[in-house]
Structure formats: structure tokens, C-alpha cells
Structure 1
Amino acid sequence: MQREAAKPTRRSLLLLAGAALAIPRALHAGQHPPLNVGVLEFGTVGWEIETIRRLGLDTAAGVQVTATRLASNDAARIAFLGGGVDVIVTDLLWAARMRAEGRNLVFLPFSATEGALMVPPASAIAGVADLAAKAVGVAGGALDKNWLLLQAYARRKADLDLARAARPAFGAPPLLSQKLEDGELDAALLYWNFCARLEAKGYRRIIGADEITRSFGIAGPIAFIGYAFAERVVAGRPDAIRAFAAASRQAKQVLASQDEAWTALRPLMQADDEATYQTLKRRFVEGIPGRAIGDEQADAAQLYALLAELGGEKLVGAAKTLPDGLYWTGT
């Protein structure tokens, strides 16, 4: 025979109420779903996310961060647009295009470290004028922003039409990097982490994307890579974005000031030797954004207009200017 459940007394109800009032606010905040960040399997953003999670910087700021490993940039964008992840790291042009098309996403700068034109240690190439008739690898395709800017720079500085005068070869960065090492290419325009790995082997930087942008009147470094937050997060969880931005800043400060913080990251970095490890660290830290958002946005708008002119609608879509409200300002 089952016993009848005991009726709660006035005293027990008061005790339960007092216990509920004593629950920390942080626990109530934990009822919100985690902020799910899409991370490429071997991408540099994984270094920062790992630092945030390992040190508990997310929970200290008031948000829980989880990571979903993705195979490629295309996979990350598909997951982002389909609602599979809340945040990805992407380039400014794609984020701007999505916002211009009506998606209310926002962009938070992640890194101002840019790619460069690399050549072998003994190469006779000393500048863009020497690229005539040379085989030049280009990561990212014919509409890659660095390739468009390099072409514009070559026309201004050397009266050289690189698309015709050189022999461009488009492909994935790992393949182009290997072909440069094998001697099948004379030069390669690569993303910064591939440049860093080559630099550690003695390869030379002819010109970096940051130097090219300054030649067009850009005042300071632009973070062309950043976190994009989905519109559902922008509309429903602005506090989560604010907390994530705080955790991101703290992680960068740790990585910029504490060498020991990198020890836990070394397995993720795929650095086969000390020179590669140190070069990757240095280039990452150099790219930590430190400019006021207003200054960053003003320079980005100027460069965006130039890229819209160079690449047209195929590159930026219908928007000829940087969309209003793209940058996360903390409000």
C-alpha cells in the first residue's frame, strides 16, 4: 500500500523559497544555451577558443562557449546560415555581403594579420616588377582580395598587368605552399599562417597585404578576419555577444603576455619545429586588433569601396559601400 505524499508545511515552503533566492545569478544565466562557435579543424581561431575554455574566461564573463569542428570555410558558412552554429570566423567581405542582403549579423574583429607574397630564399625576385613571366600561386581564387589588391598595386607601382604578364595558378594554400617548396612556382600569395610556416624555413616576404593597403591610403591595420554572430543571437542574446567579446579580449591579452599559455596550444598548432612554433606565435600576436572600432570601420569602408571597384558585384554583391551596423560596438 502506497503512502500518501506528505503535504508541504509552511516552514518547508519558506525554506525552499529561501534556497531559491540564494541561487547565484550566474546559475540562472547558465540556463541559456551555450554559444556554439564553428571552428575549422586546424584554424587559428581554435587557439583562442581553447584558451577561453581552458581558463574559464567565458563563464567568468557570463556565457558558456562550445566549439563545433568543421572541415572548411564553406562548411562553416553553411552551418552558420543553416543555424548549426551561432558564431564563425569569416572574412569581412562575406559578412558585409550577408548583411547587405538582409541578414542582421554583426562582425567582431579577430585578427589583422594578413597574407603575403612569398618567394624561396635564393630567389632573384625583389619586388612586384620581377613577377613578369613568373609562375605565381594565388590562394583563394581569381577574386581573392589580396590578389585583386596585388594586381592594383602592380599597375600603380610597376605599370604591370599581373593577370597577363605573370602566370597565375590558383589553388588551395597547402598545395600552393608545397609547390613553392618543390620549385614548381616562383612565388606564392598565401594566407598568413602558411606564410609563417615558410618564413620559419627561410622563405622571404616580398610584400604583405598590409603594406599594399597602406599604399592606397589606409591609415592602419584592418582586421579582415572576424567573428560573425548570427542574427538570432544579435536579436535575442546581445549580452552573450558582449560576454564573448570580453572573453576574447582577455584570451588575446593572455596569449600576448604569457608564453606559458602557448604550451597547451602547441598540439593544435602543428608546429613541427621550434622555429615554426615561434613564428606562428609572433605573427598571431602581431595581428591582435588594438584599434578603436570607429577607426577600424572608417579604414575598412575606404578599402571596401576600392575592392568593390576592383572586384565588382562578383566579389561584394550589390552593395558598393560597407553596410551600416556591421561592426559590433558593444551596444
Structure 2
Amino acid sequence: MRQTVQRLALLSLLLGSDAQAQKTISIGNQAGGTLAWVLFAIDRYGIGQELGLKVNTTTYASKDATRVALRSGAAQIVVDDFIEVSLLRQKGFPVSAVYPFSLLTGGVIVPEGAGIQSVADLKGKTLGATSLTDKTLLLLRAYTRAKIGFDVQDASKVVAVSSPLMEQFMQRGEIQAGIPFWHHAARMVSGGKYRQVISSGELLRGLGLPQNVPQLYIVARNDTDPEALRLFLKAVSLAQQKMKTDDAFWPAMLDANLYALPDRTQLPALRTQWAAGLPKGWSVSDLNATLLLTRKLIQVAGPDVVGLSRLDTRAFNTTYRP
């Protein structure tokens, strides 16, 4: 009887120790964002359980809503771009970009039969962009000014077109070229009716910048438990590795309504382009590439368009590793 009581006490102690060892982290997920794909993978493969990490996810309708959640503490982690994390830090919010989430990808897309063979042919054409602050558009402006002798925003007609509608506008001839989101670009090119004139990577290279420049970052509150944050970064890395190799994941992700893809023959192109946008690492050199890019964008478009006058490098933390 005494031995039984001792065993039960030891078991209780062990269970209590495990419970205390488990870490918890709160994620603010934007509806329609690719972070949802990774969170789905973490759950699908049991990665959180394997690492002793409980991932609590709240999905918000917009990017602005995730930012409010981060500022209020309702979320400890969100995904956002390098401009926004710098702005948050300058406004006094204790947050940091702790690891790249995706690289700057995408490019300029035109109909296959269009007479646009190079960036120089965009002069006098109507170009669709999701906004005047789109990073690829700003890169294109810098590139045409440096390499061709005109600013595409002045020499062409740039109009705001939502990414899902860009293909329809091109079909109707209302725009001759477009800069859609990377996933829409991948789908359009995969069908054979559209082609890419120049990629974001080629624009970066033409400006003398590294091609692997992070655009989106995992942004965390500074009061987040460091160990929980490390475990989450590891979970993201493990999930991404499995997503790259598991053919069954992608149809399952679509079945879970995490992305709308009416034509599933476009899935391989979507998957390939997603993998191409994964960060290769995280170091001071990557932060320096982001700094150089920001300076170039401000030089071309001005601080009012870019959203800031300088990048606050204190908003970036390069010490965390998956």
C-alpha cells in the first residue's frame, strides 16, 4: 500500500512537471493569410505537442485587426511587413521582428500575346497595382529610373486594381500589365495565358541589392516568454519543411478552406512559388538588406508614400533561431 502511494505521488509529480514545462503562445492570424497554412501544418503534424508548446490562435478579419491585437496584448505574435514593425516601434509599442516569414517575391505579369517584352515597353501602358505603396511597384519605379531613364509611375498610367481582379482587367484590355500578389501571379502564369516580364528578384539584383530580402516577418511582443517564442519559431520551421515535401498537405489545406483555388491544376505552381518565398536564414546581413531596400524605396517614392522616413533597426532582433 505504501509503495502504491509512493508511485502515485511520483506520477503526480511527473505530470505536474510536464504541465509546468508546456509553454503557451497566442497567435494573431489574419484571415486569408499564409500564416494560416503554417498553423494548420503545426496542428496537422502534431508539432506543438511534440515540442511541448500549446499554440492558441485567434483569426482576425484584417491586418489592422491583428495589429490592434498585438498592441493590446491579445496576441503575442503576428506576421507583418518590415515597414509596419518599424512604425510600431517608433510609436513606442514594445514589439520586434524576430524572424523572416517570407521573402519579397512576385513580379510584373502581362498577357502572353502582349507586345511587352521588357520593362522599357511599359512606357505609355496602363499598369495595375494593388496600391501605390506596393513594394514591387516601388521597386519597379526605382529600377526604371536607374536603368531606363524614366519613372514608370510618370511614364505609364498606374491604376489601383485588386489582385483577384487583375486577370479580368487584362482580359478586357483595361490594363496591359499588372503586379498581382505572388499567389495570383503564380496561378496566372501556370495557365499559359500570361507570362512574367520581370521578377522582384531581378528588380532587386538590377538595383544592386540582395535577391533574398525578407518582406514579411514574425513579429512578437517583447514581453513574450523567450522559450515559448523559440519553440514557436522551431514549430514554424518544422512545419514548413514538412509542407515542402508532403504532397497530401496541399489538397488538405484547400479542403480546410484556407485558400480558394477553383482550378486545382494550378496547385503545383502555387506550392512552388510559396516554397521560393521561404527565408534562407536570419542574420545581420539580411537586416542590412532590408535597410538598404527601405532607403532605396524612400529615395524613389518619398517618406509619405513608403510610410516612414527611416527604418528603425532597433525593431529587429536577429538573436532568435528556430
TM-score by length of structure 1 reads: 0.86
Contact 2:86 2:311 in 1 (8 A): no
Match of 1:190 in 2: 180
SS in 1 for 2:218: strand
SS in 1 for 2:314: coil
Q: Unaligned stretches of 5+ in structure 2?
A: none
Deviation of 1:272 (Å): 2.2
CA distance in 1, matches of 2:5, 2:110: 75
Q: Of 38, 42, 49, which residue of structure 1 is paired with 2:39?
A: 49
Please list, as runs of the form range in 1=range in 2, the aligned pairs for 1:7-22 lying within 5 A after superposition: 17-22=9-14
Contact 1:103 1:231 in 2 (8 A): no
CA distance in 1, matches of 2:280, 2:44: 24
Q: Of 295, 298, 307, which residue of structure 1 is paired with 2:285?
A: 295
Deviation of 1:130 (Å): 1.0
CA distance in 2, matches of 1:153, 1:330: 33
Please list, as runs of the form range in 1=range in 2, the aligned pairs for 1:25-44 lying within 5 A after superposition: 25-30=17-22, 34-44=24-34
Q: What per-residue deviation string (whole Å, max 9, x for no partner) do you get for residues 112-161 of structure 1?
A: 1512111112111111211122111111x222222221111111222122
Please list, as runs of the form range in 1=range in 2, the aligned pairs for 1:172-321 lying within 5 A after superposition: 172-202=162-192, 203-233=194-224, 237-267=225-255, 268-315=258-305, 320-321=310-311
Cα distance change of structure 1 residues 47 and 18 upon mapping to structure 2, 3 Å threshold: same
SS in 2 for 1:324: helix
Moved more, 289-298 or 86-95: 289-298
Deviation of 1:183 (Å): 2.7
Displaced runs of 4+ in structure 1, greater than 4 A?
Answer: 10-17, 315-319
SS in 2 for 1:227: strand
CA distance in 1, matches of 2:9, 2:217: 45
Contact 1:116 1:207 in 2 (8 A): yes
CA distance in 1, matches of 2:300, 2:236: 33
Larger Rg: 1 or 2?
1
Contact 1:118 1:204 in 2 (8 A): yes
Moved more, 253-262 or 185-194: 253-262
Q: What per-residue deviation string (whole Å, max 9, x for no partner) do you get for residues 285-309 of structure 1?
A: 1111113423312212221222232
SS in 2 for 1:219: coil
Match of 1:126 in 2: 117
1:143 pairs with 2:121: no
* Paired-residue identity, %: 28
Counterpart amino acid of 1:87? I
Contact 1:269 1:277 in 2 (8 A): no
CA distance in 1, matches of 2:313, 2:282: 18
Aligned pairs, number: 316
Deviation of 1:273 (Å): 2.4
CA distance in 1, matches of 2:235, 2:154: 47
CA distance in 1, matches of 2:10, 2:178: 67
SS in 1 for 2:320: coil
Contact 2:190 2:269 in 1 (8 A): yes
Q: Unaligned stretches of 5+ in structure 1?
A: 1-9
Contact 2:95 2:220 in 1 (8 A): yes
Counterpart amino acid of 2:155? A
CA distance in 1, matches of 2:100, 2:58: 20
Q: Of 66, 72, 83, which residue of structure 1 is paired with 2:73?
A: 83
Q: What per-residue deviation string (whole Å, max 9, x for no partner) do you get for residues 152-211 of structure 1?
A: 111122212222221110143223343223332111112211111211222111112121
Q: What per-residue deviation string (whole Å, max 9, x for no partner) do you get for residues 61-105 of structure 1?
A: 232113222222222223322333222111111112222333231
Counterpart amino acid of 1:42? G
SS in 2 for 1:265: helix
SS in 2 for 1:111: strand
Counterpart amino acid of 2:267? Y
Cα distance change of structure 1 residues 284 and 26 upon mapping to structure 2, 3 Å threshold: farther
SS in 1 for 2:173: coil
Moved more, 194-203 or 36-45: 36-45
Counterpart amino acid of 1:18? L
Cα distance change of structure 1 residues 311 and 327 upon mapping to structure 2, 3 Å threshold: farther
CA distance in 1, matches of 2:304, 2:177: 26
Counterpart amino acid of 1:299? A
